[in-house]
Structure 1
Amino acid sequence: MTTPVVSIKNLSKVIKGKKIIDNLSFEIYPGEVFGFLGPNGAGKTTTIRMIVGLISMTEGEVIIKGKDVAKNFEEAISEVGAIVENPEMYKFLTGYQNLIHYARMVHGVSEERINQVVKLVGLTERIHEKVKTYSLGMRQRLGLAQALLHSPSVLILDEPTNGLDPAGIREIRDYLRRLAREEGLAVIVSSHLLSEMELMCDRIGIIQKGKLIGVQAVNEFINGQKELMIRFLVDHVVLASDLLKEQFSELSFQINADFIEINLEKDQIPLVNKALVMNGVNVFGISQTAKSLEDKFLEVTGGEQIV
């Protein structure tokens, strides 16, 4: 079994007598992109700050590549690369000069490694131009290169696509997935863009009011429910609605101009279809409506917004 890069064990944080983080435990593995989600005030930022040692833990432990953050801070944090929102660079220097400057702060970063990360993030053609000429997406990529210079085992990103246009968002998403795959990195992403998290992440962990609701693969989280959302394309939605209320009163459904969406178990689909047809409702199509990560997130958190 693969050894986790990050192990969070019974992590808690109490501030002014209030338990902000309540007994979190989960693991993150090499080569995966892990999404950390939660409504505003759920405790995402507090958890990330404890992971990187910016604030102390009240209880529990954070182990990074076998090293305890509380007991061996420097060794543990040497395994971490991080970007919080937009990376700040010296705009009057070139991208390469910025990387040289940051490399001097870390032991053992060679010129070969600098060139390697430049190629990895796709900046080879522009790395010797001044940062003030870079687009926001290019600055994000330069920030990724900086965070990767010392060959970390885990990359922590807070809102990595903040302020980017759709093309830039897709670009960063593709690079993060490639970094996880090619570098074997464990990537932790905190973001409010749920549609992007759905496309980017392998697994997600949802935190609410300081407690972990659960950790699941994205596909399992979205599609693992017993009931399916089934759309019936019909000619008489009012007649179909009256029929459902009469014969299937236990079902929840919603009507539209020319279709009805019903939460059904798989073996109920032919029964509902038969009842509609036998009672004069023409059914022109039956399809499953896939739930999005946003739908499921709002479902499990009771509709609380994510920030």
Structure 2
Amino acid sequence: MIVRDTPSRWQLFLILKGSVVPQILPNIIGAALWALLVLVLDRYVMAMPTISIGAMGVFGLSLSLFLGFRNNAAYDRWWEARKIWGRMVSDVRSLAQELRIFAGKGEDEEFILTRILAFHHLHRAQLRGDEVAQIVRHWVGADAAEQLMRQENGPNAALRDIASRLREMAEDGRIDGFGQRALAERLAAFPAAQAGNERLLTTPLPFVYSLLVWRTTYLYCLLLPFALLDSAGWFEPLVAAVVAYVFFGLAQVTHELEHPFRKQANAVPLSALCRVMEISVCNALGREVPPRLAPVDHVLD
């Protein structure tokens, strides 16, 4: 996720980190060259057919509305992912408080809270393929980490370990029935969040939307030079490049926001959120608190 102050007016045109310009630059250059070719052919070779600028305006308005709709849908996915992880941070803190209330300080508290950190790191790896083996070993030990990572669904295995520990605590009288119920309800929030993230990961926006957006954008940029012949003159390549930047840029932004867990500059910062959870757990256990993750080149991982 990009973290930086509002840039100055000059920086606005120079910033590339977090921008979609590198991805769409070939399209911008191609649109400008196509417009220049149409203009040169019209001026020096043969009269090219023209299209009403009004018709292209209606076409452009329709494309803008559709791009705006798809952009809103993609942003909703990104924001939902961020809200789910925000609730997971809150649930970790609540779990730590409830454990202190119902079970008190001790090995049970440490076992459950370190396992819940393992769950989140394994889930982060599940979502975007991060290498988390060393981190999981740090929190639960080498043997337990190996057992968790051998499972097909490592995050769920970590939650099963916690559920088994809660059952042992209840059977041995280390926790009463009310505490067992409260902690079980809190524990149930984590697989629900996992399922929500998996839904976002495996169910992108319908492909037909993407296909229609990209096809229509290319078609509009191919036809636009024929509508600018009588009005833009030699500024036609520049106008075509600006229009391509707007429409292809919106399409690319939508594509990035549609996938909130990918390794990209504008993704949800899963590593930073896991570190926030580690800080909360260390505070609860009285351990040395690790520092918050800082943005690197304005990107928070």
TM-score, normalising length from structure 2? 0.23
Query: Quick check: which one's helix share is greater?
Result: 2
TM-score, normalising length from structure 1? 0.23
Query: Quick check: which one's strand share is greater?
Result: 1
